Amino acid sequence: MGYKIAVLGATGAVGREMINVLAEYQIPVDELKLLASARSAGQTVPFAGKEIVVEEAKEDSFEGLDFVLGAVQNPMAVKFAPAIVKSGAVFIDNSSAFRQDPDVPLVVPEINGADAFAHKGIIANPNCSTIITMVAVGALAKLSPIETMVASTYQAVSGAGQGGLEELSRQLDDLHEGRAPEAKTFPAQIAMNVIPYIGSYKGNGYTTEEMKMQNEGRKILHLPDLRVTCTCVRVPVMRSHSISVTLRTKEKISVDQAKAAIAAFPGAALMPADADRDWPTPLDTSGQDTVYVGRIREDLTDEKGLTLWCCGDQVRKGAASNAVQILKLLTE
Amino acid sequence: MGYKIAVLGATGAVGREMINVLAEYQIPVDELKLLASARSAGQTVPFAGKEIVVEEAKEDSFEGLDFVLGAVQNPMAVKFAPAIVKSGAVFIDNSSAFRQDPDVPLVVPEINGADAFAHKGIIANPNCSTIITMVAVGALAKLSPIETMVASTYQAVSGAGQGGLEELSRQLDDLHEGRAPEAKTFPAQIAMNVIPYIGSYKGNGYTTEEMKMQNEGRKILHLPDLRVTCTCVRVPVMRSHSISVTLRTKEKISVDQAKAAIAAFPGAALMPADADRDWPTPLDTSGQDTVYVGRIREDLTDEKGLTLWCCGDQVRKGAASNAVQILKLLTE
């Protein structure tokens, strides 16, 4: 009585984590198919006590499946989406290819889980920084519509996949051994540095990554007029993203109201619920699914503003866990 | 025909850099006195081809001096200020002890250099992140008064002095050798992490470090109504601070006007004046005095807003060089 599930892009950082989370969430899996490029085919990955051989993804790989969890880049997601939809499987896609498609729900289960049920074969998993920020501010948006947000991110290298994780490790080794670090995955040295450029420019001076916070935030929160000024910055941290957010709501929300709402919101945790400090750090929040929120205080520039700090694991809640949570929602 | 100058706190990260900058700026020095705690007395420091012996700072250390450059913490600055002023020397103090004193000018030479001449024996050197941000936005404030700023900082470990520099190096070594890093100088592990807490809380949810951006910004820019929401975050970078700033001015400033004004402003450099990218990183800007500004674009949340990114060396322009520039201003 389980499901037939494929992970498309099973050997990357997010794909591997999806496999872990399927097991951890005890999703009833009858068959797990691991798909990747021809280059990765033949590798084996352990799941539920067995070694599963990774197969090359092909148009006919999806017959008979219930769900496909996508952890591939946009071109591969676009290439395989028609075959997945035609097979009758639901494609829960972590790429950004379909996020703005009006026929594709863009879902953070704690916020707009109901949207998932209106799918036409594809459900999009939002951008990682956007998911983490939305879980942090979702409780506030329910108290009063958010009108504007100014966000500056502190994004872990895991956001660039396995290559990002390897690059930071390699550069730190290089520095330790007295070698000049080489930048391959990132556009500058990331070890002992920060890089205020993620994605690519699109004409208004913002990067593609920065515009996701506004454009995906609008769709997730059902706030089509939300305006967001975002600055996305890569920092030499392995897995968890952090975001400094200043937001203005239609009606004033007090700091105490905000704290109570965030503490009660599923998926979020208010610091210091069980800590002696009110500021989460990326290291505190890696390897789990909760978005930790702290430093909640009045925005000194606007009487209807609040400012806060949040951290969450980019690979998990920012990608793999959110996708598996969407799958779980559809099976309950 | 030179000056008799002392550096108080000569063996710390900022004090050492003040000595370097005095030589580099070719300040005519007749006598350089290096003062520190009893613990550091007896060390020697090279200057102008000689080895100078560090002496213990005492009340009678300042007789006959023209300038005292202060690179000590508040209690020591407060302790020695009366003796310095009584001796007739001008005390250019990098601590925060006197910055809000109405009798003490708070000076960034490129912005309010004229204020320095109204001193009554003490001139305060501003907070490091504040100096770097002010040089970046000073040109805009001259076009139209800045009303509000939302700033998120990415502050190097040098801001915590020699102990901060040593802690990051030691923790990276620990991680490399498989040892658990120990946090002594910072309130959590800084290697592979970021810490959104610098200074201490003062009651409104902001830290002392965060309120400096507003309170010192008001005094430097002569804008007593300036409102600033600041989030100060320590990042695992050695020397240069970066700041993501979104600001609203009284009248609209276009992106092109802003770029032209910043490019023409002394002490600031617009990226990419001589680079193929418009985003400076801390590594690009360490070991020099210019504040690099990039990513200048419209604030999507306010039609009179702009957002930008700036980086500058915390030990130099954020501390030592700004102090020596104040001294230079008074001698010209």
ipTM for this model: 0.96
- Token pair for residue A216? 């995906």
Query: What is the fold of A3-127+320-331?
Result: Rossmann fold (3.40.50)
Residues A131-182 pLDDT 10s: 999 999 999 999 999 999 999 999 999 999 999 999 999 999 999 999 999 9
**A318: DSSP letter:** I
Where exactly does CATH 3.40.50.720 map onto chain A? 3-127+320-331
Interface test with A, best of B189, B192, B218, B227 (most A CBs within 10 A): B192
pLDDT bin (cut points 50, 70, 90) of residue B237 is: very high
Distance CA B118, CA B90 (A): 12
Nearest-Cα distance to chain A for B193, in Å, is 5
pLDDT at B273: 63
Query: Cβ–Cβ of A282/B194 closer than 8 Å?
Result: yes
Nearest of B130, B94, B85, B86 to residue B8 by alpha carbon: B94
Residue B328 has pLDDT above 70, yes or no: yes
Pairwise pLDDT comparison (A48 vs A75), residue with the higher score: A75
Encode pLDDT of B20-64 as tens digits: 999 999 999 999 999 999 999 999 999 989 999 999 999 999 999
**pLDDT for residue B189:** 98
Measured CA to CA, the distance from residue A170 to residue A175 in angstroms comes to: 9
Tell me which CATH homologous superfamily contains domain B3-126+320-331. NAD(P)-binding Rossmann-like Domain (3.40.50.720)
d(CA A268, CA A257): 15
Q: Write out chain A residues lying below 8 Å of B305, CB-based.
A: 229
- Contact between A286 and A324 under an 8 Å Cβ cutoff? The reply is no
Give A114→chain B minimum CA distance, Å: 29
Instruction: Give the separation between CA B45 and CA B42, rounded to whole angstroms.
Output: 10
Phi, psi of B100 (to 5 degrees): -100, 5
Chain B residues in contact with A204 (beta carbon < 8 A): 297-298
B262 pLDDT more than 90: yes
The reported pLDDT for the residue numbered B275 is: 67
Q: What is the CA radius of gyration of chain A?
A: 20
On the question of pLDDT at A1 being above 90, the answer is no
- Which of B152, B281, B297 is nearest residue A152 as measured by Cβ atoms? B152
Q: How far is B220 from chain A (nearest CA, A)?
A: 19
Range(s) for CATH 3.40.50.720 in chain B? 3-126+320-331
In whole angstroms, give the CA distance from residue B8 to residue B76. Answer: 9
Q: Is the pLDDT of residue A272 over 90?
A: no
Which region, left, alpha or beta, applies to residue A278 given φ > 0 means left and ψ of -120 to 50 means alpha?
A: alpha
Contact A192 B281 (CB under 8 A): no
Q: What is the pLDDT of residue A273?
A: 64
Contacts of B200 in chain A (CB under 8 A): none
Whether A78 has a pLDDT exceeding 80, the answer reads yes
- Residue A307: its H or E element: strand A305-313
Residues B84-97 as b or e (16 or more Cβ within 10 Å = b): bbebebbbbbbbbb
Q: Which residues of A touch B196 (CB under 8 A)?
A: 242, 244, 279, 281, 294-295, 309
Pairing of strands B90-93, B122-124: parallel
Please list, residue by residue across B139-170, b when 16 or more beta carbons sit within 10 angstroms of its beta carbon and e when fewer do.
bbbebeebbbbbbbbbbbbbbbbeebbebbbb
CA distance A266 to A239: 22
How many Cβ atoms sit within 10 Å of the Cβ of residue A251?
8
Count contacts between A and B (CB, < 8 Å).
Answer: 157
Is B176 annotated in the active site? no
Query: For residues A199 and B113, what is the distance between their CA atoms, to the nearest angstrom?
Result: 40
Q: How far apart are CA A185 and CA A192, in angstroms?
A: 16
By C-alpha distance, which of A205, A217, A203, A224 is closest to A149?
A: A217
Q: What's the mean pLDDT in A273-280?
A: 81
The Cα A10–Cα A61 span in angstroms is: 14
Q: Can you tell me the mean pLDDT for B233-260?
A: 98
CA gap A78, A75 in Å, rounded: 5
- pLDDT of residue A274 exceeding 70, the answer is no
pLDDT, averaged across chain A: 97
Q: Are strands A122-124 and A291-298 parallel, antiparallel or unpaired?
A: unpaired
Please, where are the H alpha helices in A147-271? 162-176, 208-221, 255-264
Residue B44's DSSP bridge partners are B53
Catalytic site residue from B128, B230, B310, B311? B128
Which whole-number Å values give the CA distances from A312 to A127, A288, B265, B279, in the listed order? 13, 8, 40, 26
Query: Which ranges of chain A would DSSP assign to H, the alpha helix?
Result: 13-24, 74-87, 109-112, 128-143, 162-176, 208-221, 255-264, 282-285, 321-331
Upstream peptide bond of A126 is cis (omega within 30 degrees of 0): no
How many CA atoms are closer than 13 Å to the CA of A283, on its beta-carbon side?
15
Contact B154 A233 (CB under 8 A): yes
Burial class of A12 by CB neighbour count within 10 A (0 to 12, 13 to 18, 19+): buried
How many angstroms away from the CA of B56 is the closest CA of chain A? 35
Going by the DSSP 8-state scheme, the letter that residue A324 receives in this structure is: H
Q: Which residue of A has its CA nearest to B193?
A: A237
Report the distance separating Cα B251 and Cα B234, nearest Å: 33
Query: Residue B126 gets which letter from DSSP?
Result: P
Q: What are the two backbone dihedrals, phi and then psi, of residue B58, each rounded to the nearest 5 degrees? A: -135, 165
Of A206, A214, A233, the CB nearest to B244: A233
Is A275's pLDDT higher than 70? Answer: no
Could you read off the pLDDT of B180-209 as tens digits, one per residue? 999 999 999 999 999 999 999 988 999 999
Q: Is the previous residue joined to B272 through a cis bond, with omega within 30 degrees of 0?
A: yes
- Spell out the CATH class of A130-314: alpha beta
pLDDT in the model for residue B202: 83
Q: Do A150 and B246 touch (CB under 8 A)?
A: yes
- The percent of residues above 90 in pLDDT, for chain A, comes to 97
Contact A119, A105 (CB under 8 A): yes
Active-site option among A119, A230, A232, A241: A241
**d(CA A47, nearest CA chain B) in Å:** 29
Residues of B in contact with A248 (CB under 8 A): 301
CA-nearest residue of chain A to B210? A300
Domain with CATH 3.30.360.10 in chain A: 130-314
Considering only alpha carbons, which residue of chain A is nearest residue B203? A297
